[in-house]
């Protein structure tokens, strides 16, 4: 018998046709086709190709440090000492104390003690207990209500927490999860992967992307009458891609709805410090709102936070947490089993999560610089959000709600008939057509609204306002000129 080792002749065992169909069907526009094209253009520029622009600007993703945002000094000082504990040896003290403030050195020592072994060792599957305790203390101080470290899971970004919670929540294809439209596509993608059913509810653009509880109730009842087992409600607050912040009264109504309709509430609060109208619309966590609700002992809530956003922007480090309230004890055990299969979240991400929740305090040697960096970044983000919003609202056929929070604007674009016809000819959605042309003309990569879903017949795109302030005017002018040229071309 002769064995055939000729690879060419053998069909592949695994093919796109026989792979997991849920993965094939999954879509994630934030890093989709346009982002891939942006990388090609970046390579072309690096190789000296002449294009109508000098740089590619990735406004498709909330990834601040990719756009030159500086990391917070204190956080990096502590993690660098944790990564290289040799620097903490007594004989190095004289040198190291010249390079690092004493509170960074002390903090690193404390963290290494808390972690116990090397940070290269697996930790507790839920996250290092002492680091979880620091998260619990932060929540208690933020909300004025206690938090239990045993109800907290440290995670690799909020993403892995959301994925785990959606997995445990869904039983089969009838299991339905209410997601906002527009939504952050982690939710739709994960539900596709799990073979469960997204149940869309719509945010109202005209009223600043507000959420109508009675409309959600109708949606639940309708979905249930058609056989969908609606189990949970996802709320992204502040919103992505829409930037709205919920008010406290509205939140109480949401909790009442969850109680009456028997829904688990998933509160995605990763943008909780990106709040740009704090007097008018301060951030209120759903944990705090829950504690002030008559059904505070029964409503099941999971809330998520991350080190990727805020002024920290440590996206690549993959850290975050979720807190569970009022979940069934048996479900909590199963959740622990799930986490244990992945052994543990990465320890560097856990350390950054603990630093996010225990920054230097007033009076500490690092406080002044920390405070200056944080407020500088915050003010700059706020200025950039207002500036870009004004630019969008000034464009012909464009309207844009302000970002009360988050890192994004989601302008609505009304495209001329001729542009709609051209997009149809190319078999493209009109917003994708517009965003493609913007990228090719300006190097600015944004995401078409269709990647987040939107009300039928409306078209949008999402842009971050993260390009650095010194380049921001050029960035705005590029968009302005592109839009004028586009309208001139298609309005003729
Ligand atoms: N939830 C929301 C609402 C998000 O916007 C993101 C990331 C996440 C969760 C997950 O982030 P981490 O896993 O990093 O914590 N936002 C993506 C986006 O829209 N742009 O950048 C990433």
Cα–Cα dist 153/165, whole Å: 11
The first and second tokens of residue 305, run together, are 């936070």
Cα–Cα dist 179/202, whole Å: 9
Spatial contact of 243 and 410, defined as CB atoms under 8 Å apart: yes
Spatial contact of 304 and 161, defined as CB atoms under 8 Å apart: yes
Measured in degrees and rounded to the nearest 5, phi and psi for residue 53 equal -145, 165
Residue 91 lies in a domain: no
Question: Tens digits of per-residue pLDDT, 222-243?
Answer: 999 999 999 999 999 999 999 9
The candidate with the shortest Cα–Cα distance to 35, out of 51, 54, 53, 59, is 59
Query: Looking at residue 57, what is its pLDDT?
Result: 95
Same-domain pairing of 353 and 392 = no
Same-domain pairing of 243 and 349 = yes
Same-domain pairing of 218 and 285 = yes
The candidate with the shortest Cα–Cα distance to 152, out of 174, 126, 176, 121, is 126
In angstroms, what is the span from residue 89 Cα to ligand 1's centroid? 38
Q: Which atom of ligand 1 is nearest to the CA of 406?
A: 5
In angstroms, what is the span from residue 159 Cα to ligand 1's centroid? 7
Same-domain pairing of 63 and 131 = no
Q: C-alpha distances in angstroms, 336 versus 14, 99, 183? A: 32, 41, 28
Same-domain pairing of 205 and 311 = yes
Same-domain pairing of 187 and 250 = yes
Residue whose structure tokens are 């500088």: 376
Same-domain pairing of 404 and 339 = no
Residue 157 lies in a domain: yes
Residue 468: which domain range?
21-68+378-490
User: How many domains is the chain partitioned into structurally?
Assistant: 2
Same-domain pairing of 275 and 351 = yes
Please say which residue of 328, 357, 386 terminates a domain.
357
Query: Looking at residue 117, what is its pLDDT?
Result: 79
Q: Which residues line ligand 1 (CB under 6 A)?
A: 30, 61-63, 157-159, 184, 186, 236, 240, 268, 270, 306, 308, 315, 320
Query: Looking at residue 37, what is its pLDDT?
Result: 95
Q: Which atom of ligand 1 is nearest to the CA of 271?
A: 3
Please say which residue of 295, 324, 357 terminates a domain.
357
Same-domain pairing of 53 and 200 = no
Residue 92 lies in a domain: no
Residue 229 lies in a domain: yes
Q: Which residues in the chain show pLDDT less than 50?
A: none
Query: Looking at residue 3, what is its pLDDT?
Result: 59
Residue 476 lies in a domain: yes
CATH number at residue 429: 3.90.1150.10
The first and second tokens of residue 62, run together, are 């909330």
Among protein residues, the one whose CA lies closest to atom 7 of ligand 1? 62
Please say which residue of 357, 390, 412 terminates a domain.
357
Residue 151 lies in a domain: yes
Same-domain pairing of 176 and 316 = yes
Spatial contact of 58 and 462, defined as CB atoms under 8 Å apart: no
CATH number at residue 274: 3.40.640.10
Q: Which atom of ligand 1 is nearest to the CA of 240?
A: 3
Query: Looking at residue 28, what is its pLDDT?
Result: 86
Residue 294 lies in a domain: yes
Q: Which atom of ligand 1 is nearest to the CA of 320?
A: 15
Query: Looking at residue 104, what is its pLDDT?
Result: 98
Same-domain pairing of 25 and 150 = no
Q: Which atom of ligand 1 is nearest to the CA of 159?
A: 13
Mutate to test the pocket of ligand 1, among 59, 209, 236, 308 (most ligand atoms within 8 A of CB): 308
Residue 182 lies in a domain: yes
Mutate to test the pocket of ligand 1, among 38, 209, 270 (most ligand atoms within 8 A of CB): 270
- Taking phi over 0 as left and psi of -120 to 50 as alpha, with beta for the rest, 460 belongs to beta
DSSP β-ladder status, 444-445 and 398-399 = unpaired
In angstroms, what is the span from residue 90 Cα to ligand 1's centroid? 41
In angstroms, what is the span from residue 65 Cα to ligand 1's centroid? 14
Q: How many Cβ atoms sit within 10 Å of the Cβ of residue 10?
A: 9
Q: 443-470 as b/e, with b when 16 or more CB fall inside 10 Å?
A: bbbbbbbbbbbbeeeebbbbbbbbbeee
Same-domain pairing of 345 and 475 = no
* Packing angle, helices 129-143 and 102-115, rounded to 10: 120
Question: Tens digits of per-residue pLDDT, 188-219?
Answer: 999 999 999 999 999 999 999 999 999 999 99
Q: Which atom of ligand 1 is nearest to the CA of 63?
A: 21
In angstroms, what is the span from residue 409 Cα to ligand 1's centroid? 15
């Amino acid at each position: 018998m002769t064995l055939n080792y000729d690879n060419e002749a053998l069909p592949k065992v695994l093919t796109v046709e026989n792979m997991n169909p849920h993965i094939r069907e999954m879509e994630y526009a934030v890093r989709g086709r346009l982002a891939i094209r942006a990388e090609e253009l970046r390579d072309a520029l690096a190789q000296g190709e002449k294009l109508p622009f000098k740089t590619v600007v990735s406004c498709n993703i909330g990834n601040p440090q990719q756009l030159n945002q500086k990391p917070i000094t204190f956080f990096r000082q502590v993690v660098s000492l944790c990564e290289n504990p040799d620097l903490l040896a007594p004989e190095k003290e004289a040198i190291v104390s010249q390079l690092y403030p004493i509170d960074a050195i002390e903090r690193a020592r404390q963290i290494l003690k808390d972690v116990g072994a090397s940070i290269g060792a697996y930790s507790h599957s839920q996250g290092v207990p002492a680091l979880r305790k620091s998260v619990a203390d932060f929540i208690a101080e933020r909300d004025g209500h206690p938090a239990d470290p045993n109800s907290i899971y440290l995670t690799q970004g909020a993403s892995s927490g959301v994925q785990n919670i959606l997995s445990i929540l869904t039983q089969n294809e009838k299991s339905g999860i209410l997601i906002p439209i527009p939504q952050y596509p982690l939710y739709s993608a994960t539900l596709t992967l799990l073979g469960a059913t997204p149940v869309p509810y719509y945010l109202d653009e005209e009223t600043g992307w507000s959420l109508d509880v009675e409309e959600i109730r109708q949606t639940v009842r309708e979905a249930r009458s058609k056989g969908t087992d609606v189990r949970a409600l996802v709320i992204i607050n502040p919103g992505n891609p829409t930037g709205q912040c919920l008010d406290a009264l509205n939140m109480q109504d949401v909790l009442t709805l969850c109680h009456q309709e028997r829904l688990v509430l998933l509160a995605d609060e990763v943008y909780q410090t990106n709040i740009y109208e704090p007097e008018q619309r301060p951030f209120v966590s759903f944990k705090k709102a829950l504690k002030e609700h008559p059904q505070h002992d029964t409503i099941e809530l999971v809330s998520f936070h991350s080190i990727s956003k805020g002024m920290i922007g440590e996206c690549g480090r993959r850290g975050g947490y979720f807190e569970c309230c009022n979940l069934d004890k048996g479900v909590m055990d199963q959740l622990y089993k799930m986490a244990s299969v992945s052994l543990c979240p990465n320890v560097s991400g856990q350390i950054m999560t603990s630093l996010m929740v225990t920054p230097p305090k007033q009076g500490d040697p690092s406080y002044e610089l920390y405070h200056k960096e944080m407020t500088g970044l915050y003010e700059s983000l706020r200025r950039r959000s207002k500036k870009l919003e004004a630019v969008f609202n000034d464009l012909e056929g464009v309207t844009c709600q302000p970002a009360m929070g988050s890192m994004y604007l989601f302008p609505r674009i009304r495209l001329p008939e001729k542009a709609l016809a051209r997009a149809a000819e190319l078999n493209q959605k009109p917003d994708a057509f517009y965003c493609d042309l913007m990228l090719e003309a300006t190097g600015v990569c944004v995401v078409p609204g269709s990647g987040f879903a939107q009300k039928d017949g409306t078209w949008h795109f999402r842009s971050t306002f993260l390009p650095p302030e010194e380049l921001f005017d050029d960035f705005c002018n590029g968009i302005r000129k592109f839009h004028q040229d586009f309208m001139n071309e298609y309005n003729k």
